[in-house]
Amino acid sequence: MKLLLVEDNPLLVTELAKQLKQAGYITDTTGSAQEADYMINESQYDCVILDIGLPDGNGLELLSKWRKQERNVPVIMLTARSQWHEKVEGFNAGADDYLGKPFHTEELLAVLPH
């Protein structure tokens, strides 16, 4: 199972990538919306874990773009923006699931495709 983790917090990326590897996932990482857009066009992913607040773009806008391009890869939003209306925005943009930070890795593993 191959994942794309789009997150700009280097400490979280390092720890989460390690835990995903231990759970049996192959994980590519980036902290850039632009690079994520490139990567999803160049590789086949089984799931994307996507932050909203990225230094060079908005994860919701990126997700909306992918959905308009009919990219149907499952996307899990993983963000500090976890108020109910922000979750609704995420689902309206095309998210398959939405986890607020802070979170437990077990929560993420439970919603990832197996």
Question: In this predicted model, what pLDDT tens digit does every residue of 51-79 receive, in sequence order?
Answer: 999 999 999 999 999 999 999 999 999 98
Residues 6+ apart with CB under 8 A from 85: none
Q: How high is the pLDDT of residue 36? A: 98
Q: How high is the pLDDT of residue 114? A: 79
| pTM, two decimal places | 0.94
Which residue would you say has higher pLDDT here, 38 or 82?
Answer: 38
Q: How high is the pLDDT of residue 113? A: 87
- Output helix, strand, coil percentages for the chain, rounded to the nearest 5: 45, 25, 30
DSSP one-letter code for 58: E
Specify whether the backbone of 113 is left (phi greater than 0), alpha (psi in -120 to 50) or beta. beta
Q: How high is the pLDDT of residue 83? A: 85
Q: CATH topology for 2-109?
A: Rossmann fold (3.40.50)
Give mean pLDDT, residues 98-108: 90
